[in-house]
Amino acid sequence: MPVEGNVELMRRWFQEVWNENKSQTIYELLSPDVVARGQSGGQDEIHGPTEFARFVEHIRGAFPDIKVEIEDIFGVGDKVVVRWSATMKHLGDSLGIPATGKPVRSTGISIARIEKGQIVEGWDNWDQLEMLKQIGAYTDAETVLLAKSA
């Protein structure tokens, strides 16, 4: 697939999977052998479309109204890089944190390697710590010190 086709595939991925909640797109655009890294932080890996669908359900269980905007996207060879932002409200407790109703804005970068019209490998880096701060689940030491000195 030419680079332009790979870029369009990733635009479709973000629109249908994240903005339209079309789980069938996960099974259509991910290779059965896909390996995705970074979605849950650390060195965790997601293997296959079924595991990725569970990850999406987990995120949607906390943020059912998630909307993702592609800020930048480009491709080279068999890879596409996407810089994105997401807005949502914390309306569910699937993260193990009671819903707060607080608005959240998160940003991230995703890289996908595409073969024969399917994503075969992916890497994500997104600001999970800032998301936790926005819903009140994490307060860093600096914030605590500033609050105490005020």
For residue 75, list its beta bridge partners.
Answer: 80
3-state secondary structure of 127: coil
* CA 4 vs CA 12, 26, 31, 77, 117: distances in Å: 12, 20, 19, 10, 12
Q: Report the candidate in 123, 111, 109, 83 with the shortest Cα–Cα distance to residue 6.
A: 111
62 and 93 Cβ atoms separated by less than 8 Å? yes
- Lowest-confidence region among 94-98, 103-107, 114-118: 94-98
CA distance 59 to 66: 9
Alpha-helical regions (H) of 71-140 = 128-134
CA distance 119 to 10: 9
The amino acid that residue 30 corresponds to is L
The DSSP output letter for 118 is: E
Write out pLDDT tens, residues 12-39: 999 999 999 999 999 999 999 999 998 8
- Lowest-confidence region among 121-125, 126-130, 139-143: 139-143
The mean per-residue pLDDT over the stretch 123-132 comes to 90
Task: State residue 142's pLDDT score.
Answer: 53
For residue 85, list its beta bridge partners.
Answer: 69, 107
Tell if the pTM clears 0.75, that is, is over it: yes
The full set of domains in the chain, from first to last, is 3-149 (3.10.450.50)
113 and 122 Cβ atoms separated by less than 8 Å? yes
CA distance 79 to 114: 6
